Structure 1
């Protein structure tokens, strides 16, 4: 018998106590400790902890000490190995599956995520419980991985675990707000699975005659899950319990509609050839994307900006990553003056994108050209990818580059713009209008739909003559050169990076010192915007029609 009722509360966010309190007083293994063990963390410590969570959740939270487990892991077939989807949204669905469509829990220590073993079904239910509370998507994912690593998806291990031990695992995952209650629910779940379902949740689906409504009614009797948790369980378990398919939870269905897949579950079921595994992967990909978008952290609401020539839309990896990577591989010179890491494929790009997306100071827009769609044909060998991106962008608009805001600080009301326009769209209306829209948004007063920032900065490599001319043409004022402003990737070549060899000798640095960069700094500020800079940029945008 598992004792599950917590009789006290663990304090602080550190490890739970191992002491029993008063000498000679015995407690059940599942009682909550009654003494404080650590002081509450500062806001900065909490921020650091969340930062660590975000860094580890993309690939899961496995820690094998550098050793690979000697077992087969279920993973989705590559797009080359599986049959192409032929429906009207087939290409978009394949792209979504490629980026986010792994089988549930396949990046954890779960042995058989593709099979309806007792351990897999229990793991999926634990994941649903953990993911249904008001915690971030990334914290829920990391905590689930740690719960599975601790072996709590195995009924015998979960039964033998103490409330304290479960609380400790939840704390390590950053699941601090609901840890006491959730640790209790986990103990109660072990009891119910053992007593009601003979140690195997697969008994539940048989008892319910494989009827989704009856399965839902039975799951509602489990403490700690609720309707949202059951929706998540249906989403993630339909490949091992095919009677649940086709299922997409309401929030994910809104995501499907948002990215152009529509909201008809039956139509999407037809799109994936009525295969429960593909439906599961699609539903999970939509849930993953919803979680990512829900964690959008930019200081201001990022919205679509457009005029009759260009549109700036929030960058969506499922739509824009592939053509962006293809373009920069074909034109590596676009990065000559930019301190960006080398990007060889979409995986490399996603590492960079995750850093941008998770930072409240940064946001990224895709630039869509609404006028010169024929330009896409001028990039030999790139037309198919970019045409696909154009279709995904909607209304026949063509993906023409990216713009960003960086180092945004609401307290000081400042931001910095970044621009990268693809070669086929340079020296056209695209850059002027894209930057103009960004400046209108950042510098206009709230009554005009702007953010009312005080200062917008343009920074570039001091040797980047094209970028410096563009800044001047658009009305940015030159402020000076910030010498040795930052390190610069060695891979960009000695002609653009400042040699740091003399610095290495001076400092006695072992190995090599990274090259450096002088940075040219330009700006537009609020008190010159309304009567001077704004009319100038508006006129330039009209000239480029």
Structure 2
């Protein structure tokens, strides 16, 4: 069928670009941290820890590595954190290059674990129940945790939409800004429609290219070379 306006062709090109973007930069930070994200208490707590670590003014890769090192040290559940050795936590941060924030983050990790235990019965799925599966209310609940502000709440919601469908689509300000620079739609619903089964991966890819000029250039070069 003729496409005199070129709309269909442009849409196909946009979807192809988004697929390349996800293929090149769409690894989520949960995946990078070694978190096998499921709608279960342990991986949700691990994601909360990652969100807290990523809230610091430090590279996202360092935060992801710190979360991985904590997991390797056995700090995967609130109970493990509360009964664990603080020095083991600090050593894990040191291995990840997170030493600048080790003491304060160790304290916040314990505070967070205690809050999850006391207020959510050790299960963050109860956060969804408490907020009525409302993403805005979920962000407010997340920001009640010591060490998690708007950035940390966005990290958690951006990643958890893989297993919490009621959060979708979640594209934070960084993702939206990157979408604008890449000449993609900026409405979350329109972005979601370009990758209906990969909202979290697209959001992660947009954030990654917003933080890494070389990665952004790689995405653009691959786009030109495949035309």
Fold shared by both chains (TM-score > 0.5): yes
Going from structure 1 to structure 2, the CA distance change for 1:232 and 1:108 (only over 3 Å counts) comes to: closer
Q: Distance in 2 between matches of 1:131 and 1:261?
A: 26
Q: Alignment partner of 2:100: what SS?
A: coil
Are 1:102 and 2:27 matched, yes or no?
yes
**What corresponds to 1:280 in structure 2?**
200
| Partner of residue 319, structure 1 | 220
Counterpart CA distance in 2 for 1:109 and 1:268 is 26
1:235–1:280 CA contact under 8 A, matched in 2: yes
Q: CA deviation at 1:219?
A: 1.3
Structure 1 unaligned regions, length at least 5: 1-85, 297-313, 325-384, 389-545
Q: Equivalent residue of 1:248, what SS?
A: coil
> CA-to-partner distance for each residue in 1:447-495, whole Å, 9 max, x for gaps?
xxxxxxxxxxxxxxxxxxxxxxxxxxxxxxxxxxxxxxxxxxxxxxxxx
Query: What is the alpha-carbon distance in structure 2 between the residues aligned to residue 108 and residue 174 of structure 1?
Result: 14
Specify which of 185, 190, 198 is matched with residue 262 of structure 1: 185
Q: Which has the higher contact order (CA 8 A, sep 6+)?
A: 2
* Aligned with 2:148 (options 211, 225, 237): 225
CA–CA distance in 1 between the matches of 2:224 and 2:64? Answer: 29
Match of 1:143 in 2: 66
1:215 match: 138
Alignment match, 1:201: 124
| CA 1:160–1:87: 2 relative to 1, 3 Å | farther
**For residues 188 and 95 of structure 1, what CA distance do their matches in structure 2 show?**
41
Q: What is the RMSD computed on CA atoms of the aligned residues?
A: 2.1
Describe the SS at the equivalent of 2:80. Answer: helix
From the superposition, tell whether residues 119 and 227 of structure 1 become closer, same or farther in structure 2 (CA, over 3 Å): same
SS at match of 1:127: helix
Post-superposition offset of 1:255: 1.0
1:290 CA displacement = 2.0
- Equivalent residue runs for 1:80-95 within 5 Å: 89-95=14-20
Is 1:291 aligned to residue 214 of structure 2? Answer: no
Separation of aligned partners in 2, 1:88 and 1:95: 11
3-state SS in 1 of match to 2:212: helix
Deviation at 1:175, TM superposition (A): 0.8
Q: 2:112 & 2:62 partners in 1: Cα distance?
A: 21
The superposition leaves residues 469-528 of structure 1 with CA deviations (integer Å, 9 ceiling, x where unpaired) of: xxxxxxxxxxxxxxxxxxxxxxxxxxxxxxxxxxxxxxxxxxxxxxxxxxxxxxxxxxxx
**Match in the other structure for 1:161:** 84
Which structure's CA Rg is the greater one? Answer: 1
Q: Normalization by structure 1: what TM-score? A: 0.38
Q: Tell me the alpha carbon deviations over residues 379-435 of structure 1, each in whole angstroms, 9 at most, x when there is no partner.
A: xxxxxx2xx2xxxxxxxxxxxxxxxxxxxxxxxxxxxxxxxxxxxxxxxxxxxxxxx
How far 1:104 moved relative to its partner? 4.0
**Stretches of 4+ aligned residues off by more than 6 angstroms:** none
Within 5 A, what are the aligned runs for 1:23-34? none
Asked if the contact 1:108–1:149 (Cα under 8 Å) also holds between the matched residues in 2, the reply is no
Q: How many angstroms apart in 2 are the aligned matches of 1:133 and 1:108?
A: 16
TM-score when normalising by structure 2: 0.87
Query: In structure 2, what is the equivalent of residue 122 of structure 1?
Result: 45
Cα distance, 1:252 vs structure 2: 1.8
CA distance in structure 1 between the partners assigned to 2:34 and 2:19 by the alignment: 26
Specify every segment of 5 or more residues in structure 2 that has no aligned partner in the other structure, as ranges. 1-10
Call closer, same or farther: CA 1:179–1:243 in 2, change over 3 Å.
Answer: same
Q: Is the contact made by 1:87 and 1:271 (CA closer than 8 Å) also made in structure 2?
A: no
* Mapped partners of 1:240, 1:105: distance in 2: 12
| d(CA) in 1 for partners of 2:212, 2:64 | 12
Matched residue count: 217
Check if 1:152 corresponds to 2:72.
no
Find the partner of 2:98 among 146, 154, 175: 175
